[in-house]
């Protein structure tokens, strides 16, 4: 029986006394609070299924990689500034990107608790490249080419930003680096056992470089789905993930944009996103109400 109905309907045999009524009211109120709490907790859970992060990433300390990322990010910005290509604080497109980031960042911690301590940054670099990325530790850069050539809406830009954030949150670079180190160590040991000497060392080095050239297909799928959910929670239309990659596919027919060299487009990618749209639609609707 519904606890509310139970509260409203006295026993057919005996009328409830004041103490009994008080107890029932408390039980009803407690049940309501528990139900509300469960709903709130449920809304904070991931709606897309990407599994757990690879344990292999633990071979590389997160702090080490994030420190390196900060240094590289600073260098990239310095080079862009020297060329007059770094957008100033008041640049409209930069302000647009920063506004999107402010809506997405609050929804990142559930994917990586370390992100609560990240010093998130968003910068815009003047370049015709169709490119954007997020380094470990939350260091984001967009190139004007991706905004202008693809004529991105705010929703589509949010999908790209969410996708790039997801690479950092899921620590894909850390995982790739760990795999590179493991492969390098393995090849070095094998070369010594086989007596290959420096030839073996060279093979180890080459193998490491190849492993770090781009993310795996699984990494890309994870980032697509995690980014989709983050953007939806931030109040951006889930359908924009599909229109974004449709634009990417069209762009790939006009050469090979930088973004697509490490983020391959394809029909399967779009189908995967379409299949997950219903899972995050209610998050988008909640964000609009909030």
* CA gap 239, 90 in Å, rounded: 30
- CA 152 to each of CA 90, 155, 246, 247: distance values in angstroms, whole numbers, following the listed order: 20, 8, 12, 9
* CA gap 162, 226 in Å, rounded: 7
Does residue 87 sit in helix, strand or coil? Answer: coil
Q: Which residue from 225, 246, 228, 250 is spatially nearest to 237, judged by alpha carbons?
A: 228
DSSP 86: B
Q: Whole-prediction pTM value?
A: 0.73
Average pLDDT, the chain: 76
- CA 273 to each of CA 97, 103, 149, 171, 288: distance values in angstroms, whole numbers, following the listed order: 23, 21, 23, 21, 21
Ranges 136-145, 152-161, 211-220: which has the least confidence: 211-220
Can you count the helices (H) and strands (E) in the chain?
A: 12, 3
Largest CA distance in the chain: 94
Mean pLDDT of all residues in 92-102: 98
The strands making up 139-143's β-sheet, listed across from edge to edge, are 121-125, 139-143, 132-135
At residue 274, does pLDDT exceed 90? yes
pLDDT higher for 176 or 225? 225
* CA gap 160, 171 in Å, rounded: 17
* CA gap 99, 170 in Å, rounded: 23
For residue 232, count CB atoms less than 10 angstroms from its CB and return exposed for 0-12, middle for 13-18, buried for 19 or more: buried
Quick one: pLDDT band at residue 215, thresholds 50, 70, 90? confident
């Amino acid at each position: 029986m519904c606890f509310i109905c139970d509260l409203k309907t006295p026993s057919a045999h005996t009328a409830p006394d004041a103490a009994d009524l008080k107890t029932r009211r408390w039980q009803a109120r407690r049940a309501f609070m528990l139900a509300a709490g469960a709903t709130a907790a449920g809304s904070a859970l991931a709606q897309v299924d990407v599994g757990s992060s690879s344990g292999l990433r633990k071979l590389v300390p997160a702090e080490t990689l994030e420190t390196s990322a900060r240094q590289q990010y600073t260098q990239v910005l310095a080079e862009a500034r020297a060329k007059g290509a770094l957008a100033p604080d008041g640049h409209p497109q930069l302000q647009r990107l920063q506004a999107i980031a402010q809506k997405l960042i609050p929804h990142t911690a559930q994917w990586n608790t370390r992100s609560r301590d990240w010093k998130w940054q968003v910068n815009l670099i003047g370049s015709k490249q169709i490119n954007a990325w997020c380094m470990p530790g939350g260091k984001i850069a967009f190139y004007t080419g991706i905004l202008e050539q693809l004529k991105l809406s705010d929703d589509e830009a949010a999908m790209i930003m969410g996708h790039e954030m997801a690479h950092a949150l899921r620590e894909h670079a850390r995982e790739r680096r760990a795999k590179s180190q493991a492969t390098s160590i393995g090849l070095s040991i094998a070369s010594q056992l086989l007596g290959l000497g420096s030839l073996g060392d060279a093979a180890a080095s080459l193998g490491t470089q190849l492993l770090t050239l781009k993310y795996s297909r699984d990494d890309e799928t994870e980032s697509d789905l995690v980014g989709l959910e983050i953007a939806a929670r931030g109040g951006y239309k889930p359908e924009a993930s599909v229109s974004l990659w449709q634009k990417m596919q069209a762009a790939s027919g006009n050469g090979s944009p930088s973004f697509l060299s490490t983020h391959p487009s394809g029909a399967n990618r779009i189908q995967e996103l379409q299949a997950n749209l219903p899972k995050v639609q209610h998050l988008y609707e909640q964000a609009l109400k909030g």
